[in-house]
Every structure is written in C-alpha cells, then in structure tokens.
C-alpha cells in the first residue's frame, strides 16, 4: 500500500475491519480499503506537523489524530472532512490518542509528560491534565469497560489511572432530612444500598463522580447522560413494594 511520501508513524483498523487508516510524517492521514489495499479518497490534510497517532471511534464514524503541531483533530471517517475545531491544550507533541470504549471521550498522551481527557462531542478538556510520569508519555490505552487508563513513558514506567475517580459519598450528603429512614450509600462497585445494606440500584461507572443525595439523585453534567434526576418521593423498596401492587 503506497501513497505516503514519508515515514508511516501510526496505523489502525476500522471497527468493522473494512478500512485501514495511516498517519505519516508527510503530515497527512490516508484511508485504505483493507481488502484490496486501494487508497480511498484524497489524503486527509490539516495538521502542520507529523501525524504521530491515529485511531477510529468505536462506531467507526470518526477518526482522531495527534500531531507534532500539538493539536488533536477529529475527522469524518467517510469523507475525511474535519469535525469541529482542533483540540488544543498540550504544550508539546502528541504521541498517542485513543477513544474510550463508549466513544464519549478521547484520551491523549504527550511529550509534555501529561495525559488529557476530552469530550469527544464538544472537544472540551475534562478536568486537569494527569501528571505523574517523569518523562515523555509515549502511549495510552483505555480498559475495555472504560474505567481505567494505562500509560507508558520514556521514564521506563507504566501507570494505571482511574478515568473518572469517584468522589467518596459523605454521610451528611447521603441522608435527606425529609426521608430520614432512607439513607443510602454507594459501594465501590457502584451499588447503592439502603440504611440496612440492602441493594437498591446500580450506578454506571461514568456516573460515579459527584453522585450525591439519594432522595433526589443527581448525575453531574460530565456524565454522557448529562443531567438526570430520580425522584424518590414515591419510591418503595424491600417488602414495601407490595404497597404499589394493584390486584385489579
């Protein structure tokens, strides 16, 4: 498969295996037919530096790329057109980019020794840069369930991170005075239990951050589900469920 005019620095298959994308130091991205090796469309241009890393979104609709120009770009996988503005924040070369399994986030690693998390739809940076490596962060990956990030560095170490560390629920925030008998707390696995430790419901991992007040449960805007409220005014649990059963 020939077409690039300089080093090929990164390649990836599409989720359905029908396409291959490549990033090069000729500052372009190319899309190829995986079956016959033919180039599809024109080279994708926009970066002003080496394209060090490329990846597909889980649904195959988008391509993300990182470059020596210190930007991350998102492209339409079918047309090669740029989507939104470049993601800017790193202060040195981007070495690795990856989508979270849900497709909601993009994670990037850079020569500036940091890892950044971005909202894939808006391009907004989420939280502060993750810093612990003492040298260039060379590679990044996301765990299959989307809870953790793993990074590799020129400092010879590998680090594992929580994608969204869950804030501990304070007892003072977990009990609503209007529902004194309903005091719920979330365990490490995401299950919310009543005051007698009975299981009530399960909270998805990406909704853990900032979870509070079980009487009116709110999920923060950083969640892909955005703002969600569960009203427990008429909620019953345990053997009390029979109170809402209508035999007629």
* Distance between CA atoms of residues 51 and 95, nearest Å: 9
Residue pLDDT, tens place only, 71-114: 999 999 999 999 999 999 999 999 999 999 989 899 999 999 99
* Burial (0-12, 13-18, 19+ Cβ within 10 Å), 94: buried
Instruction: Please tell me the chain's helix, strand, coil percentages from 3-state DSSP, rounded to the nearest 5.
Output: 5, 40, 50
Q: Report the C-alpha dihedral over residues 205, 206, 207, 210, rounded to 10 degrees.
A: 100
pLDDT value, residue 175? 42
pTM of the predicted model over 0.75: no
Q: Choose the final residue of a domain: 129, 162, 195.
A: 162
Q: How many domains does the chain have?
A: 2
Q: Choose the final residue of a domain: 162, 197, 226.
A: 162
Closest by CA position to 18, among listed 4, 1, 36, 42? 36
CATH of residue 73: 2.130.10.10
């Amino acid at each position: 498969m020939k077409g690039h005019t300089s080093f090929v620095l990164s390649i990836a298959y599409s989720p359905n295996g029908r396409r291959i994308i490549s990033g090069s130091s000729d500052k372009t991205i190319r899309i190829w037919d995986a079956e016959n090796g033919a180039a599809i469309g024109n080279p994708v241009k926009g970066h002003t530096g080496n394209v060090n890393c490329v990846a597909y979104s889980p649904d195959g609709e988008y391509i993300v790329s990182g470059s020596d120009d210190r930007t991350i770009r998102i492209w339409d996988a079918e047309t090669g057109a740029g989507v939104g503005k470049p993601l800017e924040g790193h202060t040195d070369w981007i070495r690795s980019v990856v989508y979270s399994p849900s497709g909601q986030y993009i994670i990037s690693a850079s020569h500036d020794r940091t890892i950044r998390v971005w909202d894939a739809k808006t391009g907004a940076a989420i939280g502060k840069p993750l810093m612990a490596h003492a040298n260039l962060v060379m590679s990044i990956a996301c765990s299959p369930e989307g809870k953790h990030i793993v990074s590799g560095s020129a400092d010879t170490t590998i680090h594992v991170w929580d994608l969204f560390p869950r804030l501990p629920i304070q007892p003072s925030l977990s009990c609503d005075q209007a529902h004194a008998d309903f005091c719920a707390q979330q365990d490490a696995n995401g299950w919310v239990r009543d005051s007698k430790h009975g299981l009530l419901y399960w909270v998805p991992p990406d909704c853990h951050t900032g979870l509070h007040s079980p009487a009116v449960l709110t999920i923060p805007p950083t969640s892909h589900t955005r703002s969600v409220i569960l009203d427990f005014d008429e909620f019953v649990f345990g053997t009390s469920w029979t109170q809402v059963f209508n035999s007629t």
